[in-house]
Structure 1
């Protein structure tokens, strides 16, 4: 058993699969599978259930217990390394860009997770628009970012795709729609609260069939959703931005979404990329 095996095991549990874990770790799937087999041989027990045809890798009861111990072992190891640091030695800083339209609760959870996972680093967060983040990265002002991404590349890794939904007040006529799904025709004539932070291309909402009767414009997502909650109009926004005061309704024929992932500068350490990816993926667990 070695620390690499433990890191691979923890990644598989948190990513719920060998393929996703390999992507996070930036290694091959056979390398992850081999590490798991070696760890199981060393422990003399199976850590995961083998279900034919299942895409998910499910830990056994003993596997979940070992996950807790493995996490503690790695945490103690990092703590031991930190204790050897000279008192006057400053912590290295990792500058993280965060897309401004990500949910604040998720961003706070990720920051706390990063501090817990790699306490020997100081994590500095800076939020901005997609274009600001890209500019900061090109200028060397941030090291890694949780933002919009395109396809997988040497410096970019998609994590999930999020649909845009329509936000309405809890008193809106559509709030109790059976099945919670509407059509563009149901909202086409509704007054809109336009979000200045929206990443959709100019004209996307009009092209989707909305009348663009503007009730309000704001660069603040919190204000936009407050206006929606008060019945001023509806808003089109990523599903994760929904708050207690509004109802998020999927629009069957809207067809708008955004792809969220991690982007980094060339030369960023693998451990940093893995830590940020893991924290983002486990933000709601």
Structure 2
């Protein structure tokens, strides 16, 4: 079977037009027609039904099934091309969200430097949700990711390095500041300052709020945790952030939460299941595993 035929057929399913598919691949329309016929012969099934009188095209159920499988095949093929072309390169394409880069990556940066590995690293700092998709697409090789639950993503190997509790933070003058522990429902009437994004902190805020039975009144979103703490310290609102980000110099009060919500800031070391690291990449990954010992200490 010709994988090019699968690419032509997949485009036909999406565009529903032979001429448009031919134009996309810069080939003649009969080339697309012959490719579809080859696939129908290969699978002994009608994949496409054409109504020439009304100039319509319908993808049959076998055609839709093949399309779904073809997407996986073509994606894996693209990934194989990328990995084979980079097999002898020493570059380490590495991703981590800014909060991990600030709090935990420095714990192993010294060892990476002493081993001469940092010079090989190309770092992409983005949110965990974005990095997860980049990892699946083969655009980065290894990542440190945050999630509210331990990661269990098809096609990825994830090793949990540490789990960190979330805290509600309020100003020292806030009515709840004298308390050490609160129920999240006690914040129902507060203004919330939230981290932007779709993955960890916003998800934790949604989960705690849902358990407490209210919709948080978010008055400001920012990707900057330092700004969040400064705004909370000034009394502008309250927030929910991972406890490790809070320091005495922040002039905020961190409150434990009594709610039985399972959300944690789970930090995981993640690679693709089919990723074959070279010697330099293996050594880099081995050093990152050392973060687990820092969390256990």
Mapped pair 1:171 → 2:169? no
Query: Structure 1 residue 236: deviation in Å?
Result: 0.8
CA deviation digits over 1:27-68, x for unaligned, max 9?
xxxxxxxxxxxxxxxxxxxxxxxxxxxxxxxxxxxxxxxxxx
- Does the aligned pair in 1 maintain the 2:184–2:209 contact within 8 Å? no
Mapped pair 1:192 → 2:201? no
Structure 1 residue aligned with 2:258: 252
Q: How does 1:1-285 map to 2 (within 5 A)?
A: 92-102=90-100, 104-119=102-117, 122-148=120-146, 149-151=150-152, 155-177=157-179, 180-197=180-197, 199=200, 200-201=202-203, 203-209=206-212, 210-243=214-247, 244-245=249-250, 246-253=252-259, 255=261, 256-265=263-272, 266-269=275-278, 270-279=282-291, 281-282=293-294
Query: Structure 1 residue 240: deviation in Å?
Result: 1.8
Structure number with bigger Rg = 2
Partners of 1:191 and 1:151 lie apart in 2 by: 34
SS of 2:177's equivalent in the other structure is coil
Structure 2 residue aligned with 1:68: none
Partners of 2:235 and 2:118 lie apart in 1 by: 48
Partners of 2:291 and 2:186 lie apart in 1 by: 38
> Structure 2 unaligned runs (5+)?
1-88
- Does the aligned pair in 2 maintain the 1:99–1:127 contact within 8 Å? yes
- Does the aligned pair in 1 maintain the 2:136–2:156 contact within 8 Å? no
**Counting helix residues as a fraction of each chain, which structure ranks higher?**
2
Partners of 2:169 and 2:242 lie apart in 1 by: 9
Cα–Cα, structure 1 residues 107 and 281, in superposed 2: closer, same or farther, change >3 Å? same
Relative to the length of structure 2, the TM-score reads: 0.56
> Structure 1 unaligned runs (5+)?
1-90
- Does the aligned pair in 2 maintain the 1:183–1:254 contact within 8 Å? no
Relative to the length of structure 1, the TM-score reads: 0.58
- Does the aligned pair in 1 maintain the 2:131–2:143 contact within 8 Å? yes
Query: Structure 1 residue 119: deviation in Å?
Result: 4.2
Query: Structure 1 residue 147: deviation in Å?
Result: 0.7
SS of 1:155's equivalent in the other structure is strand
